[in-house]
Structure 1
Amino acid sequence: MKSSDLLLDAFARVQETVHEAVEGLSEEELAVRPDADANSVAWLVWHLARIQDDHVADAFGTAQLWSADGWAERFGLPFPEADTGYGHDRAQVAAVRAPAELLLAYYDAVHARTVAHVGSVTAAELGRVVDTRWDPPVTLGVRLVSVLTDDNQHAGQAAYVRGLVERR
């Protein structure tokens, strides 16, 4: 098995979890938060897609789909275009509202772009430095594992919140 095959499988599993967490929920259900400081399914999926879009675009030297493909306008969120959700307070989390179709369309576009980039990565390329702001510098392999870890945590949280919504 090639390194890229392993990464592609991992990203495909995230996609399955995201779809399971979102499909069939109304915009109101996607916005439900277990308490005032918790995240909604909508915020969690939007945020994980934004982080993946931001980090993968940076690692491969491409534009973020959020800006380049007009997703920022379609969502119409009250944040700067570069915002990924990192550090959001309760009011900002509450502001992320979108229908399931829009959330999944953006996530799927980011997933497709990720798959296109990752599918051609060789084991040697995983050692390429993509971020020198850290000590040690971050390699492509470390960045992709970081994105996958963040995606898995947020997708799992979204699935958990969905379970709470369904029990209401």
Structure 2
Amino acid sequence: MADIPALKALINESVMVLQADDYSEAQRQAALGTVFGVDTQLILDQTYFVIERDGQIVACGGWSYRRTLYGADALAGREDNTLDPKVDPARIRAFFVKPGWTRRGLGSQILTACEAAAEAAGFRRFDLGATLTGIPLYQAYGYEPIETTQAQMAGGLSLPIVRMGKALS
């Protein structure tokens, strides 16, 4: 929980810089704190990972055994009831990398750790809500698009989110 201020700063910087080619500034600003942001339930569940370099968090991401697919604490409509690993896919959640630290395999390291932890918990399938920016990473690891939805935000804005899935072979 002590890392929350650093996580918020990392998420804000990541969204505003790295997602600039895929979303307008208005969309990115509206999404911060609701669609994008810290989900303390992941921290409490101990399913959220960070990578530090020189005492600074440079990447974060996690997985969940709860129904919510994406979003921060303030996102309306959260569903924190637990999933059944026999029938439900685990959720891959909240991946962000600090600008200047991309293309170093940090997202891949966290994704691999998340999948391994979810598999150890009995899950055989994974779902996630990808940003347009994140799609290439997830496709490289075998995730397939399922559907595109629109996250509704303040000011009548929306943000496309691509639900993707993967099953273990």
With normalisation by structure 1, the TM-score equals 0.29
- Whichever structure has more strand as a proportion of its residues is 2
- Whichever structure has more helix as a proportion of its residues is 1
Work out which structure has the larger RCO, using CA pairs closer than 8 Å and 6 or more positions apart in sequence: 1
With normalisation by structure 2, the TM-score equals 0.29
Q: Which has the larger radius of gyration?
A: 1
